Chain A
Amino acid sequence: MLSEQEIAKLNTIMEQHAYDKTQVIAIMQAIQEEYRYLPEDALRYAAKELKISEAKIYGVATFYENFSLQPKGKYVIKVCDGTACHVRKSIPILNEFRNQLGVSESQPTTEDMMFTVETVSCLGACGLAPVCTINDEVHPSMTPQKVKELVAALKEEKA
């Protein structure tokens, strides 16, 4: 169930897009910014208000890589595996993050909901390969050693 506060927030988002159903992607991006994922209730509500079917909104939400129907961690770590990063050895970076945080491809988020590790196909920062982003902040020229330091620093920040 959505709280009154949540409904008010969702209404504001949809008002900003004039309840325009062609804006559904932008609306979902705004909802995701709010919750860090797309909660089912919020999607149902948005579908009703935009006068589109739940199937349609679900279809769009599941099509695009950026939308997540699962809650994500506080820190979303995206390891770039574009071609340039790949040839400059991005996979060891990904593996190191997964090892350090005890997550996997099928289980990308830590139990305490602090970290999510995923791959992204290209961030366009190829000149600095291999790169990763942590909540949209780009970290250039990564090495497995740097991963250890970054994770330690983030864990400290959290504590």
Chain B
Amino acid sequence: MRINTREELVKARERYLASLNSQRKKILVCAGTGCVAGGSLKIYERLKEIMDGLGVKNCVMLEKEPHDSVGLKKSGCHGFCEMGPLIRIEPMGWLYIKVRLEDCEEIIQKSILGDECIERLIYCDKEGNTYEKQEEIPFYKQQTRLALEHCGQINAESITEYIAVGGYQAVAKALFDMSSEDIVNEVIKASLRGRGGGGFPTGKKWQQVLNQKEEVKYIVCNGDEGDPGAFMDRSMMEGDPHRVIEGMIIAGIATRAHYGYIYVRAEYPLAVSRLQTAIDKANKRGLLGKNILNSGFDYELKISQGAGAFVCGEGSALTASIEGNRGMPRVKPPRTVEKGLFGKPTVLNNVETFCNVPSIILNGADWYNQYGPENNHGTKAFALTGNVNNTGLIEVPMGTPLRKVIFDIGGGVKGGEFKAVQIGGPSGGCLCYNDKDNHLDLPLDFDSLKKVGAMIGSGGLVVMNNKSCMVEVARFFMNFTQNESCGKCVPCREGTKRMLELLDDIVEGRGTLEHLELLEELAETVSETALCGLGKTAASPVTSTLKYFRDEYIAHVVEKRCPAGQCKALVNFTIDATLCKGCTKCARMCPVGAITGNLKEAHTIDTTKCIKCRACIDGCAFHAIHEV
């Protein structure tokens, strides 16, 4: 049913909201990639089955008129991925964690038919405190969710629910109450900066495209979230696809562009299907297509799928890929705002940036400016992963200290002491905490991170404990960049290869102090001469680890020792004679016969034969075998 005018949109909202509010209870089953992998869709089916079996009136899609039933919804990512599969029960706001199929019957009986919270399914922290309500859990309590506002709160596949919570009102406001210039100025005033990495002012970019004289212009959404360890954009596309679309339409109105493309990486099949459903529904409702809300504004939106190339996250490579070419960056200028997709002026922003737009338009720049420090306003979503207790998707105001993110929200470091956090993916750097440098109290925003040689990037935060070797981490990223280098420019193609060789030498025990000098020299050359942003920043993981963890590099090249005990070539195994009982188990387990000794006497390892397979360590009941 088409929504033809602004008045109809307002009426539709009232009706849908009344219908949404009339749902007696709501069960929101997390259907993000993480929880789906944990079996949440089966849980969803089971809940439906049980309610149908018991004759409980329920609905999976919002009904047009108010009614009295239980709403069962597949929602977007709730964010607390570590605890999945997650289920939220409304109106109470209870969050059930690690739900299993066997729990479904009890959930329906106690929490849906009755009003009882099931104690064993709620979150319990390390101190034994339990939390019934989702909003009270420390992981959520410390967050400010603006871009992720609807993720986990509404049915991700329903346009009616999105409209019910105020969706597309910002498009209406932009169409009828504001000129293109007004929109651009509002975004400039909000000082929204690109959330994809660089942090370029979004309003300025839009203004440049608005000023172009060309007839045809494009809006492109970068959903090629290739940074390993980041999944914010994926969650937004999966969990609140209409918000991405709405942001893109507003960008179209602001720059007088009538065509949009969302470029999604092929590794995100769920995001592609949710976006496609959302686009189809918006077209059917007349919120996309010709003459939106009878304003005379046309906007056509398409999805373009990537095919697995990290470099396509770079602007000119991405547009080349949409055009059906090899995704290789080109020399700039001309810049994308002048000659982008199909040679036309193009606005290219990432998913999270577009997600911030609707609320800026609706609530105004002043409202937005209350979050975050000067020139870095708003919030930022982060994917908190690695050696941290509460992995997941979070959103905090810009400028939130790292300590708060890792310890208060993340619940602290897992499996060891805090050592470092890698931020910004292969283009970012490692932050640390020691006598010289304290990055834990560093505010997370564009400008502060730049000062210490890191960047927000798209927002991946990988926490590492003291068992992680920083040289190995640098090697890991260099290996990634080297694999993903498109090969067009020499500095990146050859430079990353040589840097990887040097790092390989160091972790395999062939390194010398000259290796470090050469690494630094190469890093400088590559960052100064590479063609695109990815090449220019390819050396960041190396330079930042060399800066903050130089001791560790020195230990590798001078003492031939890996302080974290991760670099296999530099580790030797020994048997502690005081602990060894001479049970002969290790000697029998060793696949190469490197362990010898008599029964009931301490054994020894011949390190020249040892292949470091760890079979002996894992097998020793007396913990007598150690790495040195």
Contact = CB atoms under 8 A, between A and B. Distances in A.
Interface in B298-341: 304-310, 321-328
A1 to B, nearest CB: 27
Interface in B244-280: 266-269
Given A22-B324, A25-B321, A65-B308, A86 B476 contact: yes
17 contacts: A22-B323, A25-B305, A60-B324, A60-B325, A60-B326, A83-B462, A84-B462, A122-B227, A124-B268, A125-B33, A125-B37, A126-B81, A126-B231, A126-B391, A129-B385, A138-B36, A140-B37
Nearest to B464: A87
Nearest to B235: A124
A23 B325 CA distance: 9
Interface in B22-38: 33-34, 36-38
9 A-B pairs closest in CB distance: A127-B81, A82-B228, A65-B308, A64-B307, A84-B385, A138-B37, A124-B231, A83-B229, A122-B228
Interface residues of B, number: 55
B606 to A, nearest CB: 24
A58 to B, nearest CB: 11
B37 to A, nearest CB: 4
Chain A: number of interface residues, binned into ranges: 35 or more
Interface string A58-92: 01100111110000000000000111111110000
Contacts of B240: none
A124 to B, nearest CB: 4
Given A25-B307, A63-B328, A127-B383, 5 more contacts: A28-B307, A64-B307, A82-B228, A128-B82, A140-B38
B309 A65 contact: yes
Contact of A138 (B33, B226, B385, B464): B33
Interface of A: 21-26, 28-29, 59-60, 63-67, 81-88, 120-129, 131, 136-140
B464 A29 contact: no
Contacts of A122: 226-231, 267
Contact of A63 (B229, B326, B473): B326
A127 B464 contact: no
B385 A83 contact: yes
Contacts of A127: 34, 81-82, 84, 231, 383, 385, 391-393
Most B CB within 10 A of own CB, among A60, A66, A124, A126: A124
A124 B267 contact: yes
Contacts of A131: 37
Nearest to A21: B324
Contacts of B393: 127
A126 B324 contact: no
Contacts of B225: 124
Contact of B468 (A28, A81, A87, A128): A87
B561 interface: no
Contacts of A28: 307
A38 B368 CA distance: 49
B34 A128 contact: yes
B408 interface: no
A85 B228 CA distance: 9
A107 B306 CA distance: 26
Given A22-B323, A60-B324, A87 B462 contact: yes
A126 B464 CA distance: 14
A22 B322 contact: yes
Nearest to B37: A138
B81 A121 contact: no
B324 A125 contact: no
Nearest to A127: B81
A145 to B, nearest CB: 12
Nearest to A26: B305
B324 A23 contact: yes
Contacts of B425: 83
A120 B473 CA distance: 17
B450 to A, nearest CB: 21
A68 to B, nearest CB: 10
Contacts of A121: 226, 228, 310, 480, 483-484
Nearest to A78: B267
Nearest to B341: A22
Contacts of A29: 266, 305, 307
Contacts of B473: 87
